[in-house]
A and B are shown apart, each in its own frame.
Chain A
Amino acid sequence: MNPVLSVENVTLRFGGLCAVSDFSLTLAKGELAGLIGPNGAGKTTVFNILSGVYQPQEGQVMAMGRSMLGLKPHQICAAGVARSFQNIRLFKSLSVMDNVKTAFHHEGAYSLASALWRRKDAVAGEARFEERANRILSTLELDLRRDEPAGSLPYGEQKKLEIARAVATGCRILLLDEPAAGMNAGESAWLMGCIQTIRREFDLSILLIEHDMKVVMGICERIHVMDHGVKIAEGTPAEIRKDERVIEAYLGTKRT
Protein backbone atom coordinates (compact mmCIF):
# COMPACT_ATOMS: atom_id res chain seq x y z
CA MET A 1 0.00 0.00 0.00
CA ASN A 2 1.19 3.52 -0.75
CA PRO A 3 2.23 5.43 2.33
CA VAL A 4 0.30 8.65 3.07
CA LEU A 5 3.41 10.21 4.53
CA SER A 6 6.96 9.50 3.58
CA VAL A 7 10.08 11.19 4.85
CA GLU A 8 13.17 10.34 2.83
CA ASN A 9 16.72 10.93 4.02
CA VAL A 10 15.96 14.28 5.62
CA THR A 11 18.85 16.26 7.09
CA LEU A 12 18.53 19.51 9.01
CA ARG A 13 21.50 21.47 10.31
CA PHE A 14 21.55 24.57 12.47
CA GLY A 15 24.99 25.92 11.61
CA GLY A 16 27.40 23.23 12.73
CA LEU A 17 24.79 21.32 14.72
CA CYS A 18 23.15 18.46 12.90
CA ALA A 19 19.70 18.28 14.53
CA VAL A 20 18.33 15.56 12.25
CA SER A 21 20.46 13.53 9.89
CA ASP A 22 19.46 11.17 7.13
CA PHE A 23 16.11 10.50 8.73
CA SER A 24 13.51 8.38 6.94
CA LEU A 25 10.05 7.30 7.96
CA THR A 26 6.88 6.12 6.30
CA LEU A 27 3.35 6.15 7.60
CA ALA A 28 0.78 3.86 5.97
CA LYS A 29 -2.82 4.93 5.50
CA GLY A 30 -4.76 4.48 8.71
CA GLU A 31 -1.66 3.56 10.65
CA LEU A 32 -0.98 4.74 14.18
CA ALA A 33 2.76 5.03 14.67
CA GLY A 34 4.92 6.28 17.51
CA LEU A 35 8.11 8.32 17.40
CA ILE A 36 10.14 7.87 20.57
CA GLY A 37 13.61 8.63 21.81
CA PRO A 38 15.45 10.19 24.74
CA ASN A 39 15.27 13.93 25.40
CA GLY A 40 16.94 15.98 22.69
CA ALA A 41 16.83 13.17 20.16
CA GLY A 42 15.21 15.45 17.55
CA LYS A 43 11.62 14.18 17.63
CA THR A 44 9.98 17.60 17.84
CA THR A 45 12.42 18.88 15.20
CA VAL A 46 11.10 16.19 12.86
CA PHE A 47 7.56 17.43 13.58
CA ASN A 48 8.66 20.98 12.88
CA ILE A 49 10.03 19.87 9.53
CA LEU A 50 6.83 18.00 8.71
CA SER A 51 4.68 21.02 9.59
CA GLY A 52 6.79 23.53 7.67
CA VAL A 53 8.37 25.40 10.58
CA TYR A 54 11.87 24.35 9.44
CA GLN A 55 13.08 23.62 5.93
CA PRO A 56 15.53 20.70 5.76
CA GLN A 57 18.76 21.09 3.76
CA GLU A 58 18.50 17.62 2.27
CA GLY A 59 15.87 14.99 1.67
CA GLN A 60 12.23 14.90 0.68
CA VAL A 61 8.92 14.98 2.53
CA MET A 62 5.87 13.67 0.68
CA ALA A 63 2.31 13.68 2.02
CA MET A 64 -0.52 12.16 0.01
CA GLY A 65 1.81 12.05 -3.00
CA ARG A 66 2.70 15.77 -2.83
CA SER A 67 6.01 17.27 -1.82
CA MET A 68 5.72 19.36 1.35
CA LEU A 69 9.08 21.06 0.98
CA GLY A 70 9.00 24.82 0.61
CA LEU A 71 5.39 25.08 1.75
CA LYS A 72 4.44 27.42 4.58
CA PRO A 73 2.75 25.98 7.69
CA HIS A 74 -0.73 27.12 6.61
CA GLN A 75 -0.26 25.52 3.19
CA ILE A 76 0.80 22.26 4.76
CA CYS A 77 -2.27 22.42 6.96
CA ALA A 78 -4.43 22.96 3.89
CA ALA A 79 -2.73 19.98 2.24
CA GLY A 80 -4.03 17.80 5.08
CA VAL A 81 -1.25 17.57 7.67
CA ALA A 82 -2.12 18.96 11.11
CA ARG A 83 -0.25 18.93 14.39
CA SER A 84 -0.59 19.56 18.10
CA PHE A 85 2.10 21.20 20.20
CA GLN A 86 4.19 19.85 23.05
CA ASN A 87 3.65 22.97 25.16
CA ILE A 88 -0.01 23.77 24.69
CA ARG A 89 -0.60 26.58 22.20
CA LEU A 90 -4.31 27.28 22.36
CA PHE A 91 -5.93 30.64 21.62
CA LYS A 92 -6.34 31.17 25.35
CA SER A 93 -8.81 34.02 25.51
CA LEU A 94 -11.04 32.66 22.76
CA SER A 95 -13.84 30.27 23.63
CA VAL A 96 -13.45 26.52 23.15
CA MET A 97 -15.89 26.76 20.26
CA ASP A 98 -13.96 29.55 18.54
CA ASN A 99 -10.69 27.64 18.94
CA VAL A 100 -12.19 24.81 16.92
CA LYS A 101 -13.88 27.11 14.41
CA THR A 102 -10.58 28.86 13.64
CA ALA A 103 -9.39 25.58 12.19
CA PHE A 104 -12.10 25.71 9.50
CA HIS A 105 -10.79 29.04 8.29
CA HIS A 106 -8.44 27.76 5.60
CA GLU A 107 -11.33 26.24 3.67
CA GLY A 108 -12.11 29.80 2.62
CA ALA A 109 -15.84 29.42 3.01
CA TYR A 110 -16.88 33.02 2.35
CA SER A 111 -15.39 36.39 1.50
CA LEU A 112 -14.85 39.54 3.52
CA ALA A 113 -17.70 41.24 1.65
CA SER A 114 -20.03 38.34 2.43
CA ALA A 115 -19.15 38.68 6.10
CA LEU A 116 -19.83 42.41 5.99
CA TRP A 117 -23.17 42.14 4.24
CA ARG A 118 -24.06 38.84 5.98
CA ARG A 119 -24.82 37.26 2.64
CA LYS A 120 -26.41 33.82 2.50
CA ASP A 121 -23.11 32.01 2.02
CA ALA A 122 -21.72 33.63 5.19
CA VAL A 123 -24.73 32.64 7.26
CA ALA A 124 -24.75 29.11 5.81
CA GLY A 125 -20.98 28.83 6.29
CA GLU A 126 -21.20 29.79 9.95
CA ALA A 127 -24.05 27.34 10.52
CA ARG A 128 -22.01 24.55 8.94
CA PHE A 129 -18.97 25.46 11.06
CA GLU A 130 -21.11 25.38 14.17
CA GLU A 131 -22.44 21.92 13.36
CA ARG A 132 -19.05 20.45 12.52
CA ALA A 133 -17.43 21.98 15.59
CA ASN A 134 -20.18 20.50 17.74
CA ARG A 135 -19.57 17.06 16.28
CA ILE A 136 -15.84 17.22 16.99
CA LEU A 137 -16.32 18.64 20.48
CA SER A 138 -18.81 15.96 21.42
CA THR A 139 -16.55 13.20 20.07
CA LEU A 140 -13.85 14.48 22.42
CA GLU A 141 -16.33 15.08 25.25
CA LEU A 142 -15.69 18.81 25.35
CA ASP A 143 -19.18 19.93 24.39
CA LEU A 144 -20.10 21.11 27.88
CA ARG A 145 -17.12 23.51 27.86
CA ARG A 146 -18.10 25.09 24.56
CA ASP A 147 -18.42 28.70 25.66
CA GLU A 148 -15.63 28.82 28.21
CA PRO A 149 -12.36 30.56 27.38
CA ALA A 150 -9.81 27.91 26.40
CA GLY A 151 -7.29 29.21 28.93
CA SER A 152 -9.63 28.45 31.82
CA LEU A 153 -9.87 24.71 31.08
CA PRO A 154 -7.97 22.24 33.26
CA TYR A 155 -4.71 20.98 31.77
CA GLY A 156 -6.00 17.65 30.49
CA GLU A 157 -8.91 19.27 28.68
CA GLN A 158 -6.62 21.86 27.10
CA LYS A 159 -4.64 18.96 25.63
CA LYS A 160 -7.86 17.45 24.35
CA LEU A 161 -8.90 20.76 22.85
CA GLU A 162 -5.61 20.98 21.00
CA ILE A 163 -6.30 17.59 19.45
CA ALA A 164 -9.84 18.69 18.62
CA ARG A 165 -8.55 21.81 16.91
CA ALA A 166 -6.03 19.82 14.88
CA VAL A 167 -8.70 17.31 13.82
CA ALA A 168 -11.00 20.19 12.85
CA THR A 169 -8.58 21.30 10.14
CA GLY A 170 -9.90 18.34 8.18
CA CYS A 171 -6.48 16.73 8.11
CA ARG A 172 -5.75 13.23 6.85
CA ILE A 173 -2.48 13.01 8.77
CA LEU A 174 -2.34 14.01 12.42
CA LEU A 175 0.93 14.66 14.24
CA LEU A 176 0.56 14.60 18.03
CA ASP A 177 3.45 15.97 20.08
CA GLU A 178 3.35 14.36 23.54
CA PRO A 179 -0.42 14.23 23.93
CA ALA A 180 -0.21 12.39 27.26
CA ALA A 181 2.51 14.56 28.85
CA GLY A 182 1.48 15.64 32.33
CA MET A 183 -1.56 13.39 32.46
CA ASN A 184 -2.18 10.93 35.27
CA ALA A 185 -2.71 7.22 34.60
CA GLY A 186 -6.48 7.52 34.37
CA GLU A 187 -6.37 10.44 32.00
CA SER A 188 -3.80 8.87 29.70
CA ALA A 189 -5.83 5.65 29.56
CA TRP A 190 -8.81 7.73 28.50
CA LEU A 191 -6.63 9.54 25.95
CA MET A 192 -5.53 6.24 24.40
CA GLY A 193 -9.14 5.31 23.77
CA CYS A 194 -9.82 8.76 22.46
CA ILE A 195 -6.97 8.65 19.93
CA GLN A 196 -8.31 5.33 18.64
CA THR A 197 -11.78 6.83 18.36
CA ILE A 198 -10.75 9.89 16.36
CA ARG A 199 -8.63 7.76 14.07
CA ARG A 200 -11.66 5.63 13.25
CA GLU A 201 -14.21 8.42 13.26
CA PHE A 202 -12.26 10.88 11.12
CA ASP A 203 -10.28 8.36 9.05
CA LEU A 204 -6.84 9.58 10.11
CA SER A 205 -3.28 8.34 9.97
CA ILE A 206 -1.53 9.32 13.18
CA LEU A 207 2.11 9.82 14.13
CA LEU A 208 2.69 10.58 17.79
CA ILE A 209 5.63 11.54 19.94
CA GLU A 210 5.28 10.22 23.46
CA HIS A 211 7.36 9.50 26.53
CA ASP A 212 4.70 7.53 28.33
CA MET A 213 5.66 3.98 27.31
CA LYS A 214 2.34 2.57 28.43
CA VAL A 215 0.62 4.75 25.87
CA VAL A 216 3.15 4.09 23.12
CA MET A 217 3.29 0.32 23.60
CA GLY A 218 -0.47 0.18 24.13
CA ILE A 219 -1.74 1.83 20.97
CA CYS A 220 1.03 2.22 18.40
CA GLU A 221 1.22 -0.39 15.67
CA ARG A 222 4.66 0.64 14.66
CA ILE A 223 7.37 2.50 16.55
CA HIS A 224 10.29 4.56 15.24
CA VAL A 225 13.12 5.27 17.66
CA MET A 226 15.47 8.26 17.36
CA ASP A 227 18.62 9.21 19.20
CA HIS A 228 20.94 12.16 18.50
CA GLY A 229 19.07 13.06 15.33
CA VAL A 230 19.38 9.58 13.81
CA LYS A 231 16.85 6.81 13.54
CA ILE A 232 18.17 3.83 15.48
CA ALA A 233 15.31 1.36 15.26
CA GLU A 234 11.91 0.68 13.78
CA GLY A 235 9.43 -2.08 14.39
CA THR A 236 6.42 -3.36 16.29
CA PRO A 237 6.20 -2.62 20.02
CA ALA A 238 7.34 -6.17 20.82
CA GLU A 239 10.41 -5.83 18.60
CA ILE A 240 11.32 -2.41 19.99
CA ARG A 241 11.07 -3.67 23.56
CA LYS A 242 13.81 -6.20 22.85
CA ASP A 243 16.01 -4.03 20.63
CA GLU A 244 19.51 -3.72 22.09
CA ARG A 245 20.21 -0.28 20.63
CA VAL A 246 17.00 1.14 22.03
CA ILE A 247 17.76 -0.19 25.47
CA GLU A 248 21.25 1.27 25.17
CA ALA A 249 19.95 4.69 24.11
CA TYR A 250 17.56 4.85 27.04
CA LEU A 251 19.52 3.10 29.78
CA GLY A 252 23.13 3.04 28.63
CA THR A 253 25.40 0.00 28.32
CA LYS A 254 26.23 -2.50 31.01
CA ARG A 255 29.63 -1.86 32.58
CA THR A 256 31.91 -4.77 31.84
Chain B
Amino acid sequence: MNPNLKLILGVLIPALAVQALASLAPDSLSYFVSILALAGINAILAVSLNLVNGITGQFSLGHAGFMAVGAYTSACLSVYAFPGLPGQLAFVLAVLGGGLLAGLAGWLVGLPSLRLRGDYLAIVTLGFGEIIRVLILNMDFLGGARGFIGIPAETSPFWVMLCLAFCVLACVRLMASTHGRAWLAIREDEVAASAVGVDTTRYKVLAFALSAAAAGLAGGLFAHKQAFINPNSFDFMKSVDVVIMVVLGGMGSMSGSLLAAVALTLLPEALRPLAQLTGVDLRMVIYSLALIAMMLSRPAGIMGRKELWQLGWWTKR
Protein backbone atom coordinates (compact mmCIF):
# COMPACT_ATOMS: atom_id res chain seq x y z
CA MET B 1 0.00 0.00 0.00
CA ASN B 2 1.08 3.56 -0.68
CA PRO B 3 2.81 4.80 2.48
CA ASN B 4 1.02 8.17 2.32
CA LEU B 5 -2.32 6.44 2.23
CA LYS B 6 -1.18 4.24 5.10
CA LEU B 7 -0.39 7.30 7.19
CA ILE B 8 -3.69 8.98 6.39
CA LEU B 9 -5.69 5.83 7.14
CA GLY B 10 -3.64 5.20 10.26
CA VAL B 11 -4.72 8.61 11.51
CA LEU B 12 -8.31 8.63 10.25
CA ILE B 13 -9.44 5.12 11.22
CA PRO B 14 -8.70 5.41 14.96
CA ALA B 15 -10.18 8.92 14.99
CA LEU B 16 -13.42 7.81 13.31
CA ALA B 17 -13.63 4.70 15.49
CA VAL B 18 -13.24 6.75 18.65
CA GLN B 19 -15.85 9.26 17.47
CA ALA B 20 -18.27 6.45 16.66
CA LEU B 21 -17.78 4.85 20.08
CA ALA B 22 -18.17 8.20 21.81
CA SER B 23 -21.41 9.00 20.01
CA LEU B 24 -22.78 5.53 20.85
CA ALA B 25 -22.03 6.06 24.53
CA PRO B 26 -25.13 6.93 26.59
CA ASP B 27 -25.36 10.30 28.30
CA SER B 28 -24.58 8.73 31.66
CA LEU B 29 -21.06 8.05 30.37
CA SER B 30 -20.41 11.56 29.05
CA TYR B 31 -18.18 12.36 32.01
CA PHE B 32 -16.09 9.28 31.28
CA VAL B 33 -15.80 10.25 27.61
CA SER B 34 -14.58 13.68 28.66
CA ILE B 35 -11.94 12.10 30.91
CA LEU B 36 -10.82 9.92 28.02
CA ALA B 37 -10.43 13.00 25.84
CA LEU B 38 -8.29 14.52 28.57
CA ALA B 39 -6.23 11.31 28.63
CA GLY B 40 -5.74 11.68 24.87
CA ILE B 41 -4.54 15.26 25.27
CA ASN B 42 -2.14 14.18 28.01
CA ALA B 43 -0.93 11.38 25.75
CA ILE B 44 -0.07 13.94 23.03
CA LEU B 45 1.90 15.90 25.63
CA ALA B 46 3.72 12.80 26.89
CA VAL B 47 4.55 11.43 23.43
CA SER B 48 5.89 14.82 22.35
CA LEU B 49 7.92 15.37 25.52
CA ASN B 50 9.34 11.87 25.04
CA LEU B 51 10.94 13.11 21.81
CA VAL B 52 13.06 15.54 23.86
CA ASN B 53 13.47 13.81 27.22
CA GLY B 54 13.48 10.19 26.16
CA ILE B 55 14.74 10.04 22.60
CA THR B 56 17.13 12.98 22.34
CA GLY B 57 18.22 12.61 25.98
CA GLN B 58 17.77 16.26 26.96
CA PHE B 59 15.80 17.29 30.03
CA SER B 60 12.99 19.78 29.52
CA LEU B 61 10.80 20.87 32.42
CA GLY B 62 8.81 23.51 30.54
CA HIS B 63 6.32 21.52 28.51
CA ALA B 64 3.32 23.23 30.16
CA GLY B 65 4.69 26.55 28.92
CA PHE B 66 4.47 25.46 25.29
CA MET B 67 1.04 24.00 25.96
CA ALA B 68 0.00 27.40 27.33
CA VAL B 69 1.32 29.17 24.23
CA GLY B 70 -0.76 26.83 22.06
CA ALA B 71 -3.85 27.09 24.25
CA TYR B 72 -3.91 30.89 24.48
CA THR B 73 -2.96 31.42 20.84
CA SER B 74 -5.71 29.15 19.62
CA ALA B 75 -8.22 30.67 22.03
CA CYS B 76 -7.36 34.17 20.78
CA LEU B 77 -7.59 33.07 17.16
CA SER B 78 -10.98 31.44 17.73
CA VAL B 79 -12.47 34.33 19.64
CA TYR B 80 -10.85 37.38 18.02
CA ALA B 81 -9.65 36.36 14.56
CA PHE B 82 -12.14 33.88 13.12
CA PRO B 83 -15.50 34.57 14.80
CA GLY B 84 -17.19 34.69 11.39
CA LEU B 85 -15.95 31.31 10.13
CA PRO B 86 -17.99 28.13 10.61
CA GLY B 87 -17.21 26.54 14.00
CA GLN B 88 -15.17 23.52 13.02
CA LEU B 89 -13.10 25.32 10.39
CA ALA B 90 -12.23 28.16 12.75
CA PHE B 91 -11.35 25.57 15.38
CA VAL B 92 -9.00 23.63 13.12
CA LEU B 93 -7.25 26.80 11.93
CA ALA B 94 -6.97 28.09 15.50
CA VAL B 95 -5.49 24.85 16.84
CA LEU B 96 -3.01 24.66 13.96
CA GLY B 97 -2.04 28.28 14.58
CA GLY B 98 -1.50 27.49 18.25
CA GLY B 99 0.73 24.55 17.37
CA LEU B 100 2.71 26.65 14.93
CA LEU B 101 3.35 29.47 17.39
CA ALA B 102 4.27 27.00 20.14
CA GLY B 103 6.73 25.38 17.73
CA LEU B 104 8.23 28.77 17.01
CA ALA B 105 8.50 29.43 20.75
CA GLY B 106 10.21 26.06 21.13
CA TRP B 107 12.70 26.95 18.43
CA LEU B 108 13.42 30.35 19.99
CA VAL B 109 13.85 28.93 23.48
CA GLY B 110 15.84 25.96 22.22
CA LEU B 111 18.35 27.91 20.17
CA PRO B 112 20.22 29.49 23.11
CA SER B 113 19.34 27.01 25.86
CA LEU B 114 20.23 23.73 24.15
CA ARG B 115 23.89 24.63 24.42
CA LEU B 116 23.39 23.75 28.07
CA ARG B 117 23.20 20.22 29.35
CA GLY B 118 21.34 18.25 31.98
CA ASP B 119 20.41 20.23 35.08
CA TYR B 120 21.13 23.58 33.45
CA LEU B 121 18.76 22.91 30.58
CA ALA B 122 16.11 21.75 33.05
CA ILE B 123 16.40 25.04 34.98
CA VAL B 124 16.20 27.16 31.81
CA THR B 125 13.11 25.37 30.53
CA LEU B 126 11.51 25.52 33.99
CA GLY B 127 12.16 29.27 33.94
CA PHE B 128 10.62 29.59 30.50
CA GLY B 129 7.44 27.82 31.64
CA GLU B 130 7.09 30.14 34.60
CA ILE B 131 7.76 33.25 32.49
CA ILE B 132 4.99 32.30 30.09
CA ARG B 133 2.56 31.72 32.95
CA VAL B 134 3.40 35.01 34.65
CA LEU B 135 3.20 36.90 31.34
CA ILE B 136 -0.28 35.54 30.70
CA LEU B 137 -1.27 36.32 34.27
CA ASN B 138 -0.48 39.97 33.58
CA MET B 139 -2.08 40.34 30.15
CA ASP B 140 -5.54 41.74 30.47
CA PHE B 141 -6.77 40.86 26.99
CA LEU B 142 -6.02 37.22 27.83
CA GLY B 143 -8.13 37.43 30.95
CA GLY B 144 -5.19 37.56 33.37
CA ALA B 145 -5.80 35.61 36.56
CA ARG B 146 -9.54 35.46 35.87
CA GLY B 147 -8.86 33.20 32.92
CA PHE B 148 -9.93 33.25 29.29
CA ILE B 149 -13.64 32.57 28.91
CA GLY B 150 -15.98 31.97 26.04
CA ILE B 151 -13.81 29.68 23.91
CA PRO B 152 -16.08 27.66 21.61
CA ALA B 153 -16.15 24.06 22.87
CA GLU B 154 -15.36 22.43 19.55
CA THR B 155 -12.94 19.68 20.61
CA SER B 156 -14.47 16.27 20.01
CA PRO B 157 -12.95 12.83 20.65
CA PHE B 158 -12.41 12.70 16.87
CA TRP B 159 -9.96 15.62 16.85
CA VAL B 160 -8.11 14.43 19.95
CA MET B 161 -7.61 10.98 18.49
CA LEU B 162 -6.67 12.46 15.11
CA CYS B 163 -3.90 14.56 16.63
CA LEU B 164 -2.72 11.77 18.91
CA ALA B 165 -2.56 9.23 16.10
CA PHE B 166 -0.73 11.70 13.90
CA CYS B 167 1.83 12.49 16.61
CA VAL B 168 2.46 8.82 17.34
CA LEU B 169 2.73 7.80 13.69
CA ALA B 170 4.93 10.77 12.85
CA CYS B 171 7.21 9.82 15.74
CA VAL B 172 7.34 6.20 14.61
CA ARG B 173 8.22 7.18 11.03
CA LEU B 174 10.85 9.70 12.06
CA MET B 175 12.42 7.20 14.42
CA ALA B 176 12.86 4.74 11.56
CA SER B 177 14.71 7.39 9.55
CA THR B 178 18.15 8.91 9.54
CA HIS B 179 16.77 11.80 11.61
CA GLY B 180 15.60 9.47 14.36
CA ARG B 181 19.01 7.81 14.46
CA ALA B 182 20.62 11.23 14.81
CA TRP B 183 18.44 11.98 17.87
CA LEU B 184 19.21 8.62 19.45
CA ALA B 185 22.92 9.10 18.76
CA ILE B 186 22.82 12.41 20.64
CA ARG B 187 21.20 10.68 23.61
CA GLU B 188 23.74 7.88 23.60
CA ASP B 189 26.90 9.97 23.25
CA GLU B 190 26.88 13.57 22.12
CA VAL B 191 30.64 13.76 21.48
CA ALA B 192 30.61 10.65 19.32
CA ALA B 193 27.49 11.84 17.50
CA SER B 194 29.19 15.06 16.44
CA ALA B 195 32.33 13.11 15.52
CA VAL B 196 30.36 11.03 13.01
CA GLY B 197 28.82 14.12 11.47
CA VAL B 198 25.59 14.80 13.35
CA ASP B 199 25.00 18.54 13.78
CA THR B 200 24.03 18.11 17.42
CA THR B 201 22.80 21.66 18.08
CA ARG B 202 20.58 21.64 15.02
CA TYR B 203 19.04 18.30 15.90
CA LYS B 204 18.44 19.18 19.53
CA VAL B 205 16.69 22.41 18.52
CA LEU B 206 14.69 20.52 15.89
CA ALA B 207 13.48 17.96 18.44
CA PHE B 208 12.64 20.75 20.85
CA ALA B 209 10.65 22.72 18.27
CA LEU B 210 8.70 19.67 17.03
CA SER B 211 7.93 18.66 20.59
CA ALA B 212 6.79 22.18 21.45
CA ALA B 213 4.56 22.30 18.38
CA ALA B 214 2.83 19.09 19.45
CA ALA B 215 2.42 20.48 22.97
CA GLY B 216 0.85 23.55 21.36
CA LEU B 217 -1.62 21.33 19.51
CA ALA B 218 -2.49 19.64 22.78
CA GLY B 219 -2.97 23.06 24.36
CA GLY B 220 -5.33 24.14 21.60
CA LEU B 221 -7.38 20.97 21.98
CA PHE B 222 -7.45 21.49 25.74
CA ALA B 223 -8.63 25.10 25.44
CA HIS B 224 -11.45 24.17 23.07
CA LYS B 225 -12.43 21.23 25.24
CA GLN B 226 -12.72 23.10 28.53
CA ALA B 227 -14.03 26.31 26.88
CA PHE B 228 -12.20 28.07 29.69
CA ILE B 229 -8.50 28.28 30.49
CA ASN B 230 -6.58 30.05 33.18
CA PRO B 231 -2.85 30.35 33.81
CA ASN B 232 -2.96 27.89 36.69
CA SER B 233 -3.79 25.05 34.28
CA PHE B 234 -0.27 25.45 32.90
CA ASP B 235 1.82 25.76 36.04
CA PHE B 236 5.01 23.98 36.95
CA MET B 237 3.09 20.96 38.29
CA LYS B 238 1.60 20.37 34.84
CA SER B 239 5.12 20.14 33.39
CA VAL B 240 6.09 17.75 36.16
CA ASP B 241 3.00 15.62 35.48
CA VAL B 242 4.10 15.18 31.87
CA VAL B 243 7.67 14.36 32.90
CA ILE B 244 6.27 11.73 35.29
CA MET B 245 4.29 10.19 32.43
CA VAL B 246 7.42 9.96 30.27
CA VAL B 247 9.56 8.52 33.05
CA LEU B 248 6.91 6.06 34.17
CA GLY B 249 6.30 4.92 30.60
CA GLY B 250 10.00 4.38 30.02
CA MET B 251 12.30 7.12 28.71
CA GLY B 252 12.47 6.78 24.96
CA SER B 253 9.47 4.52 24.50
CA MET B 254 6.64 6.12 22.53
CA SER B 255 4.09 3.48 23.43
CA GLY B 256 5.25 3.66 27.06
CA SER B 257 4.55 7.40 27.20
CA LEU B 258 1.16 6.81 25.69
CA LEU B 259 0.22 4.05 28.13
CA ALA B 260 1.49 5.98 31.14
CA ALA B 261 -0.37 9.14 30.13
CA VAL B 262 -3.66 7.26 29.84
CA ALA B 263 -3.08 5.30 33.05
CA LEU B 264 -2.10 8.34 35.11
CA THR B 265 -5.08 10.37 33.88
CA LEU B 266 -7.53 7.59 34.63
CA LEU B 267 -6.07 6.52 37.98
CA PRO B 268 -7.31 9.48 40.09
CA GLU B 269 -10.72 9.11 38.47
CA ALA B 270 -10.83 5.38 39.06
CA LEU B 271 -10.04 6.01 42.72
CA ARG B 272 -12.91 8.46 43.14
CA PRO B 273 -15.45 5.85 44.34
CA LEU B 274 -12.95 4.79 47.00
CA ALA B 275 -12.76 8.37 48.26
CA GLN B 276 -16.55 8.50 48.49
CA LEU B 277 -16.63 5.18 50.32
CA THR B 278 -14.06 6.05 52.97
CA GLY B 279 -14.94 9.71 53.24
CA VAL B 280 -11.26 10.67 53.14
CA ASP B 281 -9.68 11.75 49.87
CA LEU B 282 -6.63 9.53 49.71
CA ARG B 283 -6.39 9.66 45.92
CA MET B 284 -3.18 11.65 45.69
CA VAL B 285 -1.60 9.53 48.42
CA ILE B 286 -2.40 6.36 46.53
CA TYR B 287 -1.27 7.98 43.27
CA SER B 288 2.14 8.80 44.73
CA LEU B 289 2.47 5.42 46.43
CA ALA B 290 1.70 3.76 43.11
CA LEU B 291 4.40 5.86 41.46
CA ILE B 292 6.97 4.98 44.12
CA ALA B 293 6.10 1.29 43.88
CA MET B 294 6.44 1.40 40.11
CA MET B 295 9.81 3.12 40.21
CA LEU B 296 11.15 0.69 42.80
CA SER B 297 10.01 -2.39 40.93
CA ARG B 298 10.63 -1.16 37.38
CA PRO B 299 13.08 1.74 37.45
CA ALA B 300 13.32 1.77 33.66
CA GLY B 301 9.58 2.47 33.39
CA ILE B 302 6.70 0.34 32.14
CA MET B 303 8.20 -0.29 28.72
CA GLY B 304 11.88 0.47 29.28
CA ARG B 305 13.17 1.55 25.90
CA LYS B 306 11.08 -0.97 23.99
CA GLU B 307 7.92 -0.33 22.02
CA LEU B 308 4.70 -2.32 22.27
CA TRP B 309 5.29 -3.75 18.82
CA GLN B 310 8.78 -4.92 19.77
CA LEU B 311 7.68 -6.97 22.76
CA GLY B 312 7.51 -10.04 20.62
CA TRP B 313 4.47 -12.00 21.70
CA TRP B 314 3.67 -12.24 18.04
CA THR B 315 7.01 -11.44 16.38
CA LYS B 316 8.79 -14.52 17.63
CA ARG B 317 12.55 -13.99 17.50
Contacts and interface: CB of A to CB of B under 8 A. Distances in A.
A214 interface: no
Interface in A57-87: 72-74, 77-78, 82-83, 85
Interface stretch (A105-113, A134-142, A187-195): A105-113
Interface string B183-201: 0110011011111111110
B304 to A, nearest CB: 10
Interface stretch (A89-97, A199-207, A215-223): A89-97
Contacts of B284: none
Nearest to B166: A116
Interface string B166-196: 0000100110111111101100110111111
Contact of A77 (B3, B173, B195): B195
B57 to A, nearest CB: 11
A72 B200 CA distance: 10
Nearest to A83: B195
Nearest to B7: A117
Given A94-B181, A118-B3, A106 B198 contact: yes
A94 B188 contact: yes
Contacts of B198: 74, 102, 105-106
B3 A110 contact: no
B283 interface: no
Nearest to B206: A112
Given A77-B196, A116-B173, A166-B196, A101 B181 contact: yes
Given A112-B179, A116-B174, A118-B173, A73 B195 contact: yes
Contacts of B180: 115
Given A77-B197, A91-B185, A115 B178 contact: yes
A102 B193 CA distance: 8
B interface SS class: helix
A4 interface: no
B174 A115 contact: yes
Interface residues of B, number: 29
Contacts of B194: 72-74, 77
Q: Which of B177, B178, B199 has the most CB of A within 10 A?
A: B178
Contact of A105 (B4, B176, B182, B206): B182
Given A91-B184, A102-B182, A118-B3, A82 B177 contact: no
A165 B196 contact: yes
Contacts of A169: 196-197
B4 A103 contact: no
A202 B281 CA distance: 69
Contacts of A101: 178, 181
Contacts of A104: 178
A51 interface: yes
Nearest to A150: B188
B135 to A, nearest CB: 31
B170 A105 contact: no
Contacts of A53: 191
A91 B189 CA distance: 6
Contacts of B182: 102, 105
A103 B173 contact: no
B203 to A, nearest CB: 9
Interface of B: 3-4, 7, 170, 173-174, 176-182, 184-185, 188-189, 191-200, 206, 305
Given A94-B188, A115-B174, 15 more contacts: A51-B195, A72-B199, A74-B198, A74-B199, A74-B200, A77-B196, A77-B197, A85-B192, A90-B192, A91-B189, A98-B181, A106-B197, A117-B3, A118-B7, A129-B178
What 5 A-B pairs have minimum CB-CB distances, sorted nearest first? A106-B197, A115-B177, A118-B3, A91-B188, A77-B197
17 contacts: A53-B191, A72-B199, A73-B191, A74-B197, A74-B199, A77-B195, A82-B195, A89-B195, A91-B188, A93-B188, A94-B185, A106-B199, A115-B176, A116-B174, A118-B4, A169-B196, A169-B197
